[in-house]
Amino acid sequence: MSGTQPLKSKPPAHDAARKSEEATSVAKALGSRSIVLVGLMGAGKTTVGRRLANRLDLPFVDADTEIEKAAGSSIADIFKEFGEAHFRDGEQRVIHRLLGEGPQILATGGGAFMNPATRKATQENGISIWLKADLDVLMKRVSRRSHRPLLQNDDPEAVMKRLIDERYPIYATADLSIDSKEGPHDAVVDEIVHALAIELKCGGTET
């Protein structure tokens, strides 16, 4: 035995070329529209969104970050000092502004898509994608961070279950739905780009 380790297999060159061509076609077909990621906290909107933006060579914008910039305060502090209704007001205004600045990958907060006016503006200026995740996946992800205002209570899992019941029927009206599973984020990005290519009727897309 020479002790030589087997080489790890690499994706076929034609597969990488296909993915690159697909991404280029999607970015071109978007025009000035934004890709709007919706879903619950922990669905992966920021993590997947950044990778998607890199794949499509588009800017990534986090709506929550833009809200904090506009307010000069953290979201947690806005909730604490002014309440959720005040936050949702500002959230709607910021997202409407951002939707006029596409193309971009826009990650939105978990409650943003619940607003009918925001859904209408998204339909007019973007393509909405629901990153859908199961309860156990969401809880595993959000447990790594403690800054979520809606989960600052004694039973965060019960809150998450309630949010799933309330919000999933509305999220389901998004243009596309992609499972946000545990595993490589690039695999989720692959699924998104391919689904967008089909949605936008990019030439040469295999179904």
Long-range pairs for 180-184 at CB < 8 Å and ≥24 separation?
A: 180/39, 180/43, 180/44, 180/48, 180/131, 180/132, 180/133, 180/137, 181/133, 181/137, 182/137, 182/140
Q: What is the DSSP string of 156-186?
A: HHHHHHHHHHHHHHHHTTSSEEEE--SS-HH
For position 14, what pLDDT does the model report?
A: 67
The DSSP bridge partners found for residue 36 are 106, 128
What's this model's pTM, rounded to 2 decimal places? 0.86
- Residues in the chain, pLDDT under 50: 1-2
Q: How distant is the alpha carbon of residue 98 from its chain centre?
A: 15
Residue 91 region by backbone torsions, left for phi larger than 0, else alpha for psi between -120 and 50, else beta = alpha
Short-list 36, 38, 11, 40, CA closest to 133: 40
For position 93, what pLDDT does the model report?
A: 95
For position 1, what pLDDT does the model report?
A: 46
For position 202, what pLDDT does the model report?
A: 87
Q: Say if CB 37 and CB 107 are below 8 A apart.
A: yes
Tokens of 41: 């906290």
Q: Where are the domains of the chain?
A: 29-199
For position 6, what pLDDT does the model report?
A: 52
Q: What is the dihedral of CA 167, 56, 27, 184, to 10 degrees?
A: -50
For position 127, what pLDDT does the model report?
A: 98
Domain 29-199 sits in CATH at: 3.40.50.300
> What is the distance between the alpha carbons of residues 81 and 66, in angstroms, rounded to a whole number?
19
For position 183, what pLDDT does the model report?
A: 83
User: Which segments of 7-74 does DSSP mark as H helices, in order?
Assistant: 13-30, 45-56, 63-71
Helix H or strand E segment including 60: strand 60-62
